[in-house]
Amino acid sequence: MKKLLLTSSITFALLAVGYGAALSVLPNRVQRGTIGTTQWDRNIICLQSYLYEPTPDVVIVGSSLGTRLSELPAGWSNLALAGGSAMTGLETVRRSGRAPRLVLIEMNFIDRGVDEATVNGLFMPVAHQLRGATPAFRHENRPSVVTSWVMVDLYQRLEWRLNRALGGDGVTSERAKPQAARLSEVRRASMIDRQLAKYEAPVDEADIAERVTGLRRTIDHLAERGVAVALFEMPEDASLYDAPAKVAWRAALAEALPRDRYHWVDGVRWSDYHTTDGLHLAGEQAQRYTRHLVDAVGRLAQAEPPETR
């Protein structure tokens, strides 16, 4: 029995070392990519990158709206999660024990709460320590994920070569598509109407109060560790701004997190931005809001903490 355990342990160690060595020789274009992976894969990879890489200066937590922020400065880490909310990223930051200088919290879908299963999986005993010690155990390096990156990369390279062979300019059909192509106006209007119907549904004020209290508790906990926090609401379609649910959440947040005690990033009008589907900025619109956010953070760095004013 002891011999079997010893043999198994040695075999496992050799396989882990060999797999890690194989990963290190992959071309940069397929290392740590996100092509060919699922939304869930991308979210886990994003959160694990925060846990196992050097602590960033500024961290963004948010929903799929925040994933559209682009061309961020060096030292910034974007933990916005497609299909999720800021609360999951914020809980990851809290439980990590790390202390970035600033955490930016996107407030648009703060009602979704923490994905406890995802956060617990990140900090699972033994697995968490293994991922920290050996990159081969991280989600981004799972054989299924790496294989998908390699296959998509090969497909794109073959498509490029075939395009050139047929007299094209080498731009593949996938790459030629605008990254932020607008939906047809008819479909876009339909999506806005559906979102407006959600925002007009009755809200549970007790639930809002409980969630906002939990958010404030987490923010105050981070402040005790020396982490500054700033809150921001990304522009959505202007027709959604005064929807009942939006108004209720905004009022509850303003009361629990007043601007004389907490940093808020304001200064934009939703009517100045155009979304692809009523919710998400894209292309130049997303870049413009990113610049606004980066400029606001620069001003915050020069300002006194709200509680000292």
Residue 140 belongs to some domain of the structure: no
What pLDDT does 308 receive?
39
Q: Is 130 a member of any domain?
A: no
The answer on pLDDT for 222 being more than 70 is: yes
Which pLDDT score is estimated for 140?
A: 84
What pLDDT does 309 receive? 39
Is residue 56's pLDDT more than 70? yes
Q: What is the CA radius of gyration of the chain?
A: 22
Same domain assignment for residues 16 and 92: no
Domain ranges, residue 289: 56-110+184-303
Residue 289 carries which side chain, given as an amino acid letter?
Y
Instruction: Determine what percent of the chain is predicted with pLDDT higher than 70.
Output: 76
In a domain, 244, yes or no: yes
Instruction: Verify that 195 and 281 share a domain, yes or no.
Output: yes
Query: Is the same domain home to 8 and 104?
Result: no
Residues 14 and 106 in one domain: no
Does 14 map to a domain?
yes
pLDDT at 282: 85
Report which listed range, 59-63, 135-139, 169-173, is most confident. Answer: 59-63
| Torsion angle (degrees, nearest 10) of CA 132, 133, 136, 137 | -50
Asked whether 95 and 114 are in contact (CB, 8 A), the reply is no
Query: Which range, 26-35, 133-142, 257-266, is most confident?
Result: 257-266
Report in angstroms the alpha-carbon separations of 305 from 220, 230, 300, 301, 308: 13, 11, 8, 9, 6
Instruction: Tell whether 141 is covered by a domain.
Output: no
195 and 275 belong to one structural domain? yes
Same domain, 98 and 193: yes
pLDDT confidence band for 179 (50 / 70 / 90): very low
pLDDT over 70 at 92, yes or no:
yes
* Residue 180 pLDDT level (bands cut at 50, 70, 90): very low
Mean pLDDT, residues 64-75:
95
Are residues 11 and 69 part of one domain?
no
Of residues 302 and 25, which shows the higher confidence score? 302
Residues 244 and 293 in one domain: yes
Residue 133 in domain: no
Amino acid at 160: W
- Higher model confidence: residue 23 or residue 284? 284
Tokens of 258: 């007043």
pLDDT category at 135 given cuts 50, 70, 90 is confident
Residues 299 and 214 in one domain: yes
Nearest to 59 by CA among 71, 40, 41, 72: 72
Which secondary-structure segment (H or E) carries 14? helix 2-24
Asked whether residue 2 is assigned to any structural domain, the reply reads yes
In a domain, 97, yes or no: yes
Residues 23 and 60 in one domain: no
Tell me what the mean pLDDT of segment 21-29 comes to. Answer: 52
- Report the distance separating Cα 281 and Cα 268, nearest Å: 14
Report how many domains make up the chain: 2
Same domain, yes or no, for 210 and 289?
A: yes
Q: What is the mean pLDDT of residues 63-92?
A: 96
Average pLDDT value for residue range 299-303: 77
pLDDT-based confidence at residue 214 (cuts at 50, 70, 90): very high
The answer to whether residues 106 and 3 belong to one domain is: no
Classify residue 149 as exposed, middle or buried by CB count within 10 Å of its CB (0-12, 13-18, 19+): buried
CATH code of the domain in which 236 resides: 3.40.50.1110
